[in-house]
Amino acid sequence: MSSTHDTGFDSGHGHELNAGWFTEVFASHGSAFSLKVSEKLHEVQSPYQLLEVYATEAFGNLLTLDGCVMLTDRDNFLYHEMIAHPALFTHADPRRVVIIGGGDCGTLREVLRHPGVERVTQIDIDEEVTRASERFFPALTASNDDPRAELKFADGVKWIEAAAEDSIDVLIIDSTDPVGPAEGLFKTDFLRRCHRVLRPGGVLVQQSESPLYHSGSIIRELRHDMREAGFDSVATLPFPQPVYPSGWWSVTLAGKQGDVATFREADATAHELPLDYYTAEAHRGALALPPFMRRLLDEPHG
Ligand code: SAM
């Protein structure tokens, strides 16, 4: 993830590999994150981004894009469970799911755990990410041959323009930061198109950066833009994510003719999915935003 500041993204973020440490610097927030690495396993410059894979001493393999940490073997479950399960247990009966981004396939794996889901289409702009994930993160791509899964490689901004109206139950935007190829995935026009393709009762979920660093900027703007785009309700759910800026991350849900502050608690409690972080209690707790976030989001009630 790259560094960010109130008026956008600081291109000053960078990464260094000194004395066996991979460090991602978030210059505008005066912080950085490091992992001890033992070797570099892979590097490819795709038409969209620089993709690198490192072997680390304590976090398994590490995937970076343009010098930003994307995921590690050790803690990607936090992000992949929280970008998938709150939205799926919020929707009344999710059958048709689309993931924009998500090329590492970890989110796809989580969505496919839901037996009621009939079809999942994943659209990532960069096929190199999926090919690298197949080689270096096989646990994430283990479900890719599920007959319900369809992988496409295209620009999600363009794909959504051509997608059929009222055709999707849950739309997951699992993208990189809102810079470069992902910038268009955070704009109101794109969110309007997301609203158009969702069926009534549909749920949109988007990774929404750090509650500590971005509540007064990116998260507040995203929630405003989601409402501008026609969504009736929004909810931001914070969760721990050690390898991302501030160690604390979030997803933001938006509902089309539905209240995303409520979810199928009985189903979220009774399920037998082999999860390591998501529970109905964790979901309920994440909906109870801390006072500092409510203030920065201008939201009296979460
Ligand atoms: N979990 C990671 C995080 O929060 O940073 C992101 C997961 S995944 C690696 C992010 C994906 O977004 C990348 O594979 C990238 O290729 C994809 N992406 C960026 N812009 C895109 C676009 N316009 N359309 C489709 N995929 C895009």
Label each residue of 222-272 as H, E or C: HHHHHHHCCCCEEEEEEEECCCCHHHEEEEEEEECCCCCCCCCHHHHHHCC
177 carries an active-site annotation: no
Domains along the sequence of the chain with CATH? 14-72 (2.30.140.10), 76-296 (3.40.50.150)
Walk across the sheet containing 31-45 and list its strands.
14-18, 21-26, 31-45, 50-56, 61-65, 68-72
What is the per-residue pLDDT for 6?
A: 27
- CA 128–ligand 1 middle distance (angstroms): 11
Distance 101 CA to ligand 1 centre (A): 4
Mean pLDDT of 93-120: 98
Cβ of 71 below 6 Å from ligand 1: yes
Residue nearest to atom 20 of ligand 1 (CA): 182
pLDDT confidence bin for 301, thresholds 50/70/90: low
Q: Is the pLDDT of residue 166 over 70?
A: yes
Q: What is the pLDDT of residues 261-286, one digit of tens each?
A: 999 999 999 999 999 999 999 999 99
Rounded to whole angstroms, the Cα distance separating 226 from 229 reads 5
Nearest CA to ligand 1 atom 8: 102
Q: Does residue 74 register a pLDDT over 50?
A: yes
